Amino acid sequence: MTKNELEIKISTLQSLVTQKNEELIDYAAQIERLNDELKDLNKPKLTPLQFDELHTAIEEAVGQFDFDDSDNYSFDFHIDYDNRIAIESLTFDNADEIVREVYDQVCELFAEQTAPEDEISTQEHLNQD
């Protein structure tokens, strides 16, 4: 082979590699999109209005929480190098209270439905005891 033929062959192979890499990227994107669809398959479906109501309920729950209440926090103090008292660490202790507030607000939007499979597993659990 001549130098020119080798350069053409290298260029052709590089083009093929680039093309195949683009195809692999496209396939990976398709797989990711299909995996997202698979995850969403069994989720309950909500309309845009219902999503807005859900957002509003969460906003109201978080808005009702009193973040200014110092009892919601734990403080660790230390004395600074210039003899000033400073806060060494600050911990928010009532995350579970926020969760409860949000849960209560969201529950107001939905009615609970009994599921036959839940009743069967509960009955089996009771029978084992």
pLDDT tens across the length of the chain (129 residues): 898 988 999 999 999 999 999 999 999 999 999 998 888 887 788 888 888 888 898 888 888 888 888 888 898 999 988 889 988 898 888 888 888 888 888 888 877 677 776 666 556 656 665
Q: How far apart are CA 64 and CA 86, in angstroms?
A: 30
pTM: 0.50
Quick one: pLDDT at residue 29? 94
Task: List pLDDT tens digits, range 22-43.
Answer: 999 999 999 999 998 888 887 7
